[in-house]
Structure 1
Amino acid sequence: MFARVNSAQTAADKLADLVKLSEEQLSATREAPGFRGFYLLADRSSGKVVSITLWDSDDDRRQFEVRGAQQRDGTTSELGITPTPVDVYEVVLQA
Structure 2
Amino acid sequence: MFARVITAKAGADGFDGAIRIAEQQLPGARQMPGFKGYYLLTDAETGKLVIISLWETREQMDAVTAAAGPSGIREQHNPATAGLTAQRLETYEVTMQA
Bigger helix fraction: 1
Q: Runs of 5+ in structure 1 lacking a partner? A: none
Pairwise CA distance, 1:46: 2.4
Match of 1:50 in 2: 50
- The answer on whether the counterparts of 1:10 and 1:79 sit within 8 Å (CA) in structure 2 is no
Please state whether the residue corresponding to 2:7 is helix, strand or coil.
strand
Number of equivalenced pairs: 95
Is there any run of 5+ residues in structure 2 with no aligned partner, and where?
none
Q: Would the aligned equivalents of 2:17 and 2:84 in 1 still touch at CA under 8 Å? A: no
Q: Describe the shift of the 1:34–1:55 C-alpha distance in structure 2 as closer, same or farther (beyond 3 A).
A: same
| TM-score, with structure 2 as normaliser | 0.81
Aligned residues with identical type, % of pairs: 35
Aligned residue number for residue 92 of structure 1: 95
Query: TM-score when scaled to structure 1?
Result: 0.83
